[in-house]
């Protein structure tokens, strides 16, 4: 099939090159049609190709990389031709760029839609328990748990407050929450692109496509949306009056901090870099004013990200009648050192490895290298004049983000993608918007007088992010509705039955409680899957002492978990180090005192009950 398709495409191309006049009728037809209709046709062709690989059984048959490349290439060519509109030529440069972005967006949207389903069980390793986490801020009353007690969750307030918004609605469905999650993982990215490049003086259709490209670029992480929202506040402060900008950047710093402590300085650094480089900020007409604005906004970000949380923690401690030195915790030299030393650093994940095939370094070079090279060459060839301090500001900010991102990426549990380089990727986006303000847009979009290397780099900047996941696309492999209902019925029956004999522990699949898919038995908030995994990777004996004791005395009448087995893998397997930590600290102890009564491998569920006469072996922990 691939060969036939390739030969056909080659013959068609040869004919068109030999007899270009044969296309005159097609050009006349294209010129006679409204641009909206042309775009609708192009999007339909792209959607059909993407749908073929993402939603049909033919995906497993037509899985060769050559055929898929040709199929996506066909969609790209058709869309680029249609995007040329009334132009007298077969293709236009802007048409190629907009077609690349549009194809990437269509694929990304259909890929994200795969997870917007009512399937009751988790879709990925932690997805189900994440839904449970999100519900606790606004939907705490769902659970059978004493009202005066706080339900702990292994999640930050920033993500919980954002992803948990659907739980304000009564009886929200799992489908609705998954739809909200898909929107949260996409819309803020696009908004950031619009805010940043609008401040960089992009307008109209160009601005629309820059926002869509921003989504594709940042989705290479991907990036948690709270950091993107903080970046939107910084972008909104770009040309704002100083007083308003201070408030926006301060709020961005605070929101970033409560979302993830490693982000606390990011808004300050972005804001200072933008203020120091931008040439079009109202009222900033001298170098002195530029320095002042950059310093003030940087200080505002530090206040919001570091000092304000410390101050609020101190006030809360006074209200409880206990005076403390603040709530810094990990935000100190000692705290940062302790955090880094708490879990192993797997430096081999910087390079090609089973967990992330290209490795962090090569993956980052492919994702961001073309953009960095394009911006550097633009600055050198087109006379984007930056003084030495401005160059140091850009380099210093980006290198700091690079260093932090690389270290976080090699912590055990990480390194499977580029999401820990989130601050760097957004920093590069701001740099691109600053370059756009300095003339990058006019230079890149010009039909003529554009060096070949600029065209090649621009295509790489557009097409590489747009093509992520295309060659390996496949339908989501979920059990049938009937099978899911069958397993759910068994789980419901077992949970209701064993709840009469004692406590039921949901290590995994806590979304079943969240959406009332099982009886609301008394909640056991301890020993949640993600927290167990984190403590296992840290080899925290103090934490597991209570867990081992509860297992040994068979506190729980039923445990619901992912299928457990003892299989050490080593670092030659994907997430092998993490698997071995889980086996040592969770699987082995549980299986010493509990035995599976039901295991459903296809849905990732195992039900375990106490062993009648446990005889722990030498590998079993003893309280």
What average pLDDT does range 522-530 have in this prediction?
98
Does the model's pTM come out above 0.85?
yes
Query: Sheet containing 503-506: which strands, arranged edge to edge?
Result: 503-506, 556-561, 605-610, 594-600
- Residue 22: is its pLDDT beyond 90? no
- Residue 295: is its pLDDT beyond 70? yes
Is residue 390 within 8 Å of residue 276, measured between CB atoms? yes
Residue 386, exposed/middle/buried by CB under 10 A (0-12, 13-18, 19+)? middle
C-alpha to C-alpha distance for 621 and 589, rounded to whole angstroms: 6
What does the pLDDT look like over 104-123, one tens digit per residue? 999 999 999 999 999 999 99
As a whole number of angstroms, the longest Cα–Cα distance in the chain is 87
Closest Cα to residue 506, out of 521, 516, 493?
Answer: 521
**Residue 523 DSSP one-character state:** P
pLDDT, residue 334, reads 66
- Residue 495: is its pLDDT beyond 50? yes
Element containing residue 31 per DSSP (H, E): helix 24-32
Element containing residue 372 per DSSP (H, E): helix 359-381
Q: Give Cβ neighbours of residue 382 (< 8 Å, ≥ 6 apart).
A: 439, 440, 443
- Banded pLDDT at 327 (limits 50, 70, 90): very low
- Banded pLDDT at 478 (limits 50, 70, 90): very high
What does the pLDDT look like over 217-275, one tens digit per residue? 999 999 999 999 999 999 999 999 999 999 999 999 999 999 999 999 999 999 999 99
C-alpha to C-alpha distance for 289 and 278, rounded to whole angstroms: 12
Residue 198 vs residue 331, higher pLDDT: 198
Is residue 607 within 8 Å of residue 487, measured between CB atoms? no
Helix (H, G, I), strand (E, B) or coil at 313: helix
Is residue 115 within 8 Å of residue 185, measured between CB atoms? no
pLDDT, residue 316, reads 84
Instruction: Look at strands 594-600 and 503-506 and give their pairing.
Output: unpaired
- Banded pLDDT at 524 (limits 50, 70, 90): very high
Is residue 517 within 8 Å of residue 487, measured between CB atoms? no
Q: What angle do CA 212, 213, 218 make, to 5 degrees?
A: 105
Q: Report in angstroms the alpha-carbon separations of 28 from 17, 24, 40, 423.
A: 18, 6, 18, 48
| Residue spans per domain, the chain | 2-113, 127-180+477-610, 185-319+339-444+453-464
Whole-number mean pLDDT of the chain? Answer: 94
- Residue 499: is its pLDDT beyond 60? yes
pLDDT, residue 326, reads 45
Out of 5-19, 331-345, 530-544, 547-561, which region has the weakest mean confidence (pLDDT)?
Answer: 5-19
């Amino acid at each position: 099939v691939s060969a036939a398709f390739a030969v056909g495409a080659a013959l068609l191309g040869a004919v068109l090159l030999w007899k270009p006049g044969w296309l005159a009728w097609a050009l006349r037809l294209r010129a006679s049609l409204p641009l909206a209709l042309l775009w609708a046709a192009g999007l339909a062709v792209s959607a059909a190709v993407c749908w073929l690989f993402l939603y049909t059984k033919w995906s497993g048959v037509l899985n060769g990389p050559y055929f898929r490349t040709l199929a996506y290439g066909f969609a790209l060519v058709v869309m680029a031709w249609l995007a040329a509109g009334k132009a007298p030529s077969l293709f236009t440069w802007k048409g190629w760029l907009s077609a690349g972005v549009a194809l990437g967006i269509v694929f990304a949207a259909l890929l994200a839609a795969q997870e917007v389903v009512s399937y009751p069980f988790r879709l990925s390793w932690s997805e189900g328990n994440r839904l449970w986490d999100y519900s606790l801020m606004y939907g705490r009353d769902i659970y059978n748990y004493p009202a005066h007690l706080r339900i702990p969750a292994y999640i930050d307030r920033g993500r919980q407050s954002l992803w948990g918004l659907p739980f304000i609605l009564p009886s929200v469905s799992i489908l609705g929450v998954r739809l909200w999650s898909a929107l949260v993982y996409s819309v803020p990215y696009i908004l950031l692109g619009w805010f940043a490049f609008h401040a960089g003086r992009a307008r109209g259709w160009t601005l629309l496509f820059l926002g869509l490209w921003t989504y594709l670029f940042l989705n290479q992480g991907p990036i948690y949306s709270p950091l993107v929202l903080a970046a939107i506040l910084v972008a909104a402060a770009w040309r704002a009056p100083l007083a308003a900008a201070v408030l926006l950047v301060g709020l961005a710093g605070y929101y970033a901090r409560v979302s993830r402590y490693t982000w606390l300085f990011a808004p300050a650094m972005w804001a200072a870099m933008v203020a120091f480089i931008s040439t079009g900020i109202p009222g900033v007409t001298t170098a002195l004013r530029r320095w002042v604005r950059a310093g003030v906004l940087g200080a505002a970000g530090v206040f919001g990200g570091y000092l304000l949380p410390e101050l609020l923690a101190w006030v809360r401690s006074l209200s409880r009648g206990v005076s403390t030195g603040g709530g810094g915790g990990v935000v100190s030299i000692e705290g940062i050192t302790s955090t880094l030393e708490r879990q192993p650093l797997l430096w081999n994940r910087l390079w090609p490895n089973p967990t992330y095939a290209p490795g962090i370094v090569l993956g980052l070079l492919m994702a961001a290298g073309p953009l960095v090279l394009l911006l550097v060459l633009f600055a050198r060839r087109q006379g984007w004049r930056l003084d030495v301090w401005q160059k140091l500001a850009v380099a210093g900010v980006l290198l700091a983000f690079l260093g932090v991102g690389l270290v976080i990426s090699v912590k055990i549990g990480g390194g499977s993608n580029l999401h820990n380089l989130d601050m760097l990727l957004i920093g590069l986006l701001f740099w691109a918007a600053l370059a756009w303000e300095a003339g990058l847009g006019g230079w890149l979009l010009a039909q003529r007088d554009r060096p070949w290397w600029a065209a090649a780099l621009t295509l790489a900047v557009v097409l590489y992010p747009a093509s992520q996941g295309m060659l390996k696309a496949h339908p989501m492999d979920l059990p049938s509705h009937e099978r899911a209902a069958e397993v759910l019925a068994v789980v419901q029956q077992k949970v209701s039955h064993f709840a009469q004999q004692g406590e039921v522990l949901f290590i995994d699949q806590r979304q079943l409680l969240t959406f009332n898919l099982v009886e609301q038995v008394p909640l056991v908030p301890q020993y949640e899957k993600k927290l167990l995994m984190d403590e296992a990777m840290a080899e925290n004996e103090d934490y597991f002492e209570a867990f081992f004791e509860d297992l040994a005395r068979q506190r729980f009448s039923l445990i619901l978990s992912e299928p457990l087995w003892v299989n050490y893998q080593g670092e030659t397997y994907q997430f092998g180090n993490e698997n071995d930590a889980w086996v040592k600290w969770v699987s082995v102890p549980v299986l010493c005192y509990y035995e599976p009564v039901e295991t459903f491998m296809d849905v990732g569920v195992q039900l375990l009950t106490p062993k009648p006469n446990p005889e722990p072996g030498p590998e079993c922990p003893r309280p």
